[in-house]
Amino acid sequence: MVEDSVVKRAKELREQLNQYSYEYYVKDAPSVEDFVYDSLYQELVDIENRHPELVTEDSPTQRVGGRVLEGFEKVVHNVPLYSLNDVFNKEDITAFDQRVQKALGHQVSYTCELKIDGLSVSLRYEDGKLVQGATRGDGSVGEDITENLKTVRSIPLKLKNSVTLEARGECYMPKKSFMRLNQNREEEGQDIFANPRNAAAGSLRQLDTKITAKRNLSTFLYSVADTNSLSSSSQYEALQELEDLGFQTNQERKLCRSIDEVWDYIEDFQEKRGDLPYEIDGVVIKVNDFDQQETLGYTVKAPRWAIAYKFPPEEAQT
Ligand SMILES: NC(=O)c1cc2c(N)ncc(C(N)=O)c2s1
């Protein structure tokens, strides 16, 4: 039987370390120096080594991976992950806005979000605890990569509220991590990855979770399978609600009152994309209000209430 003081200390350390990790990986605003984190982490490792029965699912020690998987189980997405219709110029953006206004009978607000060049993932939480993580796959059937996604430090193992929901987002590799990874692979005579998207996909499809844990992946969450699982009534509010639950969300989002504002946003980020610490390949434009999204509905493969504006390919890095 473990003394109460040790059980209490382990709980304190877990909560303190998870808070520090949240500040560092999700808010990008650490409140303590690394050595403070490291010494508390080592204290928890020592306690868990002496008392393995004290290890919990959401312990920060579970982030470093451990198992080598045989393969990936299939996961059926109860709510399919839809794809987006792509557009490539201002005329198509205007045409989208005309179709929306015609269908709804009035002007609408749009939420603009950066289109992250990573791997789409779905994260299922029950009572606030991460129970499953899966790839998008073909939108209906994906692969269970829970063990690998648990090593992604910005993915919360436990939410700030004990809600049950399925969040969707993009898992990506920051440009700096991509450059460092390819440098190491080149020095070791290994093939290099063509781009951060391939590097992220390759890292998440690793059967050895210890390798995934070292790849410094990150995430931006941007929607939920069922909007009724949130209290928000619009996309812009939902992004804030996801952030308040402990997810990393992209801070460049903008609520636009007109399609002209949408176009300004697109031009703005076509300029800025090279300076971002992650790769994007466009902008996702969504009708903001959830009731209006429902009215517009879906075609066979994509929502009528959203489009993806694709940037022209970036000039090859000389
Ligand atoms: N295929 C899709 O539905 C999406 C793909 C992406 C992506 N790669 N990045 C951001 C968003 C977003 N913020 O909605 C979406 S939505």
Res 283 pLDDT > 80:
yes
**pLDDT score recorded for residue 318:** 42
Q: Which atom of ligand 1 is nearest to the CA of 286?
A: 14
The answer to whether 119 and 197 are in contact (CB under 8 A) is: yes
Q: What pTM value is reported for the model? A: 0.95
Strand pairing report for 306-310 and 254-256: unpaired
130 burial class (0-12, 13-18, 19+ CB within 10 angstroms)?
Answer: buried
pLDDT of residue 66: 85
pLDDT band with cut points at 50, 70 and 90 for residue 316: low
Give me 66's structure tokens. Answer: 């451990």
Rounded distance from Cα 147 to ligand 1 centre (Å): 23
Structure tokens given for 213: 């844990």
Instruction: Answer for the pair 136, 120: CB distance below 8 angstroms, yes or no.
Output: yes
The pLDDT mean for the chain works out to: 96
Does residue 204 surpass a pLDDT of 80?
Answer: yes
Q: Ligand 1 centroid to 67 CA: how many Å?
A: 30
Residues 155-173: tens digit of each pLDDT: 999 999 999 999 999 999 9
ipTM of the complex: 0.98
What pLDDT score was predicted for residue 240? 98
Residues 120-156 have pLDDT tens digits of 999 999 999 999 999 999 999 999 999 999 999 999 9
Q: Which of 284, 298, 307 to mutate to test the pocket of ligand 1 (most atoms within 8 A of CB)?
A: 284
* Residue among 46, 102, 84 nearest 296 (CA): 102
Ligand 1 touching residue 168 (CB < 6 A)? no
196 C-alpha to center of ligand 1: Å?
16
Q: What's the rounded Cα separation, in Å, for the pair 166 and 146?
A: 13
Distance 207 CA to ligand 1 centre (A): 26
Q: What is the pLDDT of residues 208-224, one digit of tens each?
A: 999 999 999 999 999 99
Distance 92 CA to ligand 1 centre (A): 18
Task: Judge contact between 308 and 114, C-beta under 8 A.
Answer: no
Does residue 284 have its Cβ closer than 6 Å to ligand 1? yes
- Select which of 115, 150, 158, 286 is catalytic: 115
> Distance (Å, rounded) from C-alpha 83 to C-alpha 309?
13
Two tokens at 123?
A: 């994260």
Is 165's C-beta closer than 6 angstroms to any atom of ligand 1?
A: no
One-character DSSP codes across 77-118 = -SS-----EEE-SHHHHHHHHHHHHHHHSS---EEEEEEE-S
Ligand 1 in contact with 40 (CB < 6 A)?
Answer: no
Is the shortest distance between the CB of 116 and ligand 1 below 6 Å?
yes
**pLDDT at position 65, please?**
87
Query: pLDDT tens for residues 26-81?
Result: 999 999 999 999 999 999 999 999 999 999 999 999 998 888 999 999 999 999 99
> Sign of the CA dihedral 174, 175, 181, 182?
positive
* pLDDT at position 314: 79
Question: Would you mind telling me the total number of residues written for the chain in this entry?
Answer: 318
Mean pLDDT in residue range 171-196: 98
Q: Is 115 a catalytic residue?
A: yes
Give the percent of the chain with pLDDT over 70.
99
